[in-house]
Amino acid sequence: MERVIGKKNEYRGFLSIIFTVISIIIVIFPNFIALSTDELAIQSHSDPLAVLMLDQASNGRYTFAAILKFLSVFHVHYEEYIVISSAFLVFSLVLLLQFLADYVKFDETERVCFSVLFVFFPLNLDVYQFKEAYLSYAVSFLFLALYFKVFSVEIQSKWKFLLGSVCLLVSFGSYQISIILALMAFLIKVTNSGNEEITYKDVYPILVASILYSVVNALLKKCHVPGFEMYPAREQGLRFVSGNLWNYANASADIFIAGHGCYYPLILNSAKLIFLFSFVVFILNFRTMGAALFVVAAVVLAANPLNLMIKGWWPSARSISAIAFSLPYIMVKNLNVLFRNMTNASRFLFCAFFSIFFFTDMWAESNRVIQSYFDISRVNSIISSIYAEDENYSDKIILYIQPDYAKNNYIAHSTYDYGTGLLQTPWSATAVFNFLSQGKIEAHIDESHFCEMNSKKKFINKGRDNAFYLCF
């Protein structure tokens, strides 16, 4: 009998891995047929990985920056880098979800359901859209998974603390959101433990690694390591917390309360109702102080406390994606309590949750692909018109773009960085012309206000300096 149960659990474990791999491939595939604004800007340079390394260093990602430096030294092509990164992301994400399930002690059914809901959680689309950062996520998830593994096996406490701290220090240095993911995973473990004795030793490596993360970046900045002299890329500090508290409350409301549309279309009003309903059912099911506190923690941590310390308030969808841990957990536990052993009714509810996530993903991603093709088609048309008007057949054409290019966005809704048009940011608006013209057109943002000052302006204008001016 025990052998049969063991084989059944082994089968479900294998099924969890298969479903997770398929889910990841489905959600990242659209990003191979669409360009993101950041990726376009990076690809327009002769050495994309070197540029990416400097950018990541300025964002305090010392682990990722070191890896990029290594790849750049060996002249790894950008296309190779994307292929390797994508495969590594699939591997790391599967490992993360499997080791997380062991860490918080999910049963095999919960393991499958949680993994699929996490992968398809709509806010994660903002994570998946940046292919150039796949290796950053992959390395961070890998070492976060190893942290979960360390605290899932029986070894001496001192080794758990040491290994856990090292794993998190490496993880945080590749992608900082893992700080919140680690904390949320610990809260899930505590809530899921029931009557078992609770230990807070898991938290010590999180605290130590967070402090050491700041120390490492400060030292690299002081030593003038290339890229780190610009750290932090966005001004941050505890002095900005009080000024961001109201913004933080608004961002939290945008996640859970219908009518707040900041994260639309990634979070639909119907999904918000499901979130709130799940909270109520979760508390009523467990009827413990721990369940109530977990819901409070999930709401408080939803908008990511790290955002409070940033001067320029910008709670992008990927920065708050840690809630993709807490909400799927609540949904899965509700199903298991309401319908023991995944009855037909619970499968129906799981399919309902999954369908809302899946079709939100497909709708948002299809819009982003359409936006990308719309922008590329529009820019190619403009390039052809410029070539036709270039009477001198110049080797290098200078183009200045009017700053209010944002009104040309095709999609009615974008969520911070997610779904942004290629003509919507200064770095991509110029890069898209450089990239699609293969360097023949050198584009800049027009700071001379040519379009505003010239009453007889056309869509494409040629100035006295033989440069072209694009007036939308």
Residue 466's pLDDT is what?
A: 75
Distances from the Cα of 30 to the Cαs of 42, 126, 253, in angstroms?
A: 19, 12, 29
The answer to whether 468 and 399 have CB atoms below 8 angstroms apart is: yes
The answer to whether 119 and 111 have CB atoms below 8 angstroms apart is: no
Alpha-carbon span 265 to 359, nearest angstrom: 11
- Residue by residue, DSSP assigns 404-452 as -GGGG-SSS--BTTBT--TTSSHHHHHHHHHHHTTTSEEEEE--S-HHH
Residue 212's pLDDT is what?
A: 95
Residue 404's pLDDT is what?
A: 59
Task: Answer whether residue 350 is part of any domain.
Answer: no
Count CA atoms closer than 13 A to 224's CA, side-chain side. Answer: 0
Residue 4's pLDDT is what?
A: 46
Q: Where are the alpha helices (DSSP H) in 390-460?
A: 426-436, 450-453
Return the ∠ at Cα 446 (arms to 443 and 449), rounded to 5°: 160
Alpha-carbon span 425 to 448, nearest angstrom: 18
Q: How many domains does the chain have?
A: 3
- One domain for residues 216 and 127: yes
The answer to whether 353 and 147 have CB atoms below 8 angstroms apart is: no
- One domain for residues 190 and 82: yes
pLDDT < 50 regions, the chain: 1-2, 4-5
For residue 288, what are the domain limits? 234-338
Smallest CA-to-CA distance from 78 within 431, 310, 86, 272 is with 86
- One domain for residues 296 and 195: no
Task: Answer whether residue 347 is part of any domain.
Answer: no
Condensed to tens digits (0 to 9), the pLDDT of residues 134-154 reads 999 999 999 999 999 999 888
AA letter at 359: F
- Residue 404 in tokens: 């209010």
- One domain for residues 329 and 378: no
Smallest CA-to-CA distance from 114 within 431, 386, 353 is with 353
- One domain for residues 242 and 182: no
- One domain for residues 320 and 464: no
Residue 19: exposed, middle, or buried by beta-carbon count in 10 A (0-12, 13-18, 19+)?
Answer: middle
Give the SS3 label for residue 122: helix
How many residues in total does the chain contain?
Answer: 472
Give the SS3 label for residue 53: helix
Give the SS3 label for residue 394: coil
Q: Tokens 């699929």 sit at which residue? A: 116
- One domain for residues 263 and 205: no
- One domain for residues 210 and 248: no
Task: Answer whether residue 207 is part of any domain.
Answer: yes
Condensed to tens digits (0 to 9), the pLDDT of residues 394-441 reads 678 888 887 655 555 566 567 787 878 787 777 778 888 888 888 888
- One domain for residues 225 and 238: no
Task: Answer whether residue 343 is part of any domain.
Answer: no
Count CA atoms closer than 13 A to 258's CA, side-chain side. Answer: 10
- One domain for residues 270 and 410: no
Smallest CA-to-CA distance from 174 within 345, 329, 304, 59 is with 59
- One domain for residues 226 and 247: no
